[in-house]
Homo-oligomer: A and B are copies of this chain.
């Protein structure tokens, strides 16, 4: 069985894909992955006519993993080619590079990285988009995630005598997100601690959604992330439109993963703070730092060896200061996944309801039902 892919290290053991190796001098794994989807969104909670169809290649990735010279010197490169992957939905220039990082392992418990990759932020983000149990991450991730950044990374697993594990993760990075241009902005500092009181999950399951491994004993991971992004230029730190002035931003994230006999719980809590979050240009237009709180909780159960049901409830709640500019949002969703080859080949169906400003009644015109069918296919 193939190892679950992680976005925090190179994937050295693959089941399929091109894998070329030469003694302990060289290894290259070449893999791809795509997600094709058909989605619908209604006009409102009451009016079920179709407001929007979402019918496209959502993700299309090529991934290279391996080592050169010595198994301690590893690399992980991921390119993305869909419109969304390249940030061309809203952004202005094509960004095919998602991950491009070199790792050096001092020992199996301590390694450092230099390059572009995911910051050690919220769990839902660090879980590869190939290991999700819903077709998209939650609205809370959309507003608060630390996403990817370019910089120096370090990962350390504390040696302990018992089963319990402590993992420390940290990064010093640009704070401006993927593929930044040279600039004169401050850096971003991220620290994360994870505590696994009952020991390691099977097959990297603390970073894969759904208990496909049917953990025979309860497994838990509790984590806390703190991020301080100095002189940030974007509305949501590493993401979002450009602010009219630089602002310091701080993000706190607490999250947990629990798995036991096919049951899974993923919970996340978020908070972003920034002094003076409102920026204005000379014409009086306004752009604000998205400050506030949010959470996402997902409960799932494998209903057969290859099928799963999952439920999500997520919310984002802006601080009063920016309420004229940003809305509260809530979503609930029901997800069914059929895992034909683990997360690598799966069929997914999601149904959900989203509402704004705490007004969840069906007649509200900014509310909507949504349904999405997605096929994930990869090696």
Contacts and interface: CB of A to CB of B under 8 A. Distances in A.
Nearest to A64: B32
Nearest to A43: B184
A101 B36 contact: yes
A28 interface: yes
A183 interface: yes
Interface in A42-67: 50-57, 60, 64
Contact of A174 (B55, B97, B101, B340): B55
Pick the 4 closest A-B CB pairs, nearest first. Answer: A94-B94, A54-B182, A36-B115, A16-B26
A97 to B, nearest CB: 5
Nearest to A115: B36
Copies of chain A in the complex: 3
Interface stretch (A78-86, A197-205, A303-311): A78-86
A377 interface: yes
A39 interface: yes
7 contacts: A16-B26, A28-B379, A34-B100, A36-B100, A57-B97, A68-B344, A83-B95
Contacts of A150: 36, 55-57
A287 to B, nearest CB: 23
A97 B69 contact: no
Given A97-B82, A377-B75, A56 B102 contact: no
Nearest to A57: B100
A341 interface: yes
Contact of A94 (B68, B93, B185): B93
Contact of A97 (B60, B77, B379): B60
Nearest to A17: B28
Contact of A115 (B34, B50, B116): B34
A53 B68 CA distance: 29
Contact of A102 (B50, B93, B94, B375): B375
Nearest to A20: B18
A183 B116 CA distance: 32
Contacts of A182: 39, 52-56
B60 A77 contact: yes
Contacts of A101: 36
Given A34-B115, A115-B57, A184 B52 contact: yes
Contacts of A28: 16-18, 379
Contacts of A102: 34, 36, 375, 377
A179 B115 CA distance: 29
Contacts of A68: 16, 341, 344-345, 377, 379
A22 interface: yes
Contacts of A25: 16
B81 A340 contact: no
A168 interface: no
A159 interface: no
A152 to B, nearest CB: 8
Interface string A160-188: 00000000000001100001111111010
Given A96-B96, A181-B89, A182-B39, A57 B18 contact: no
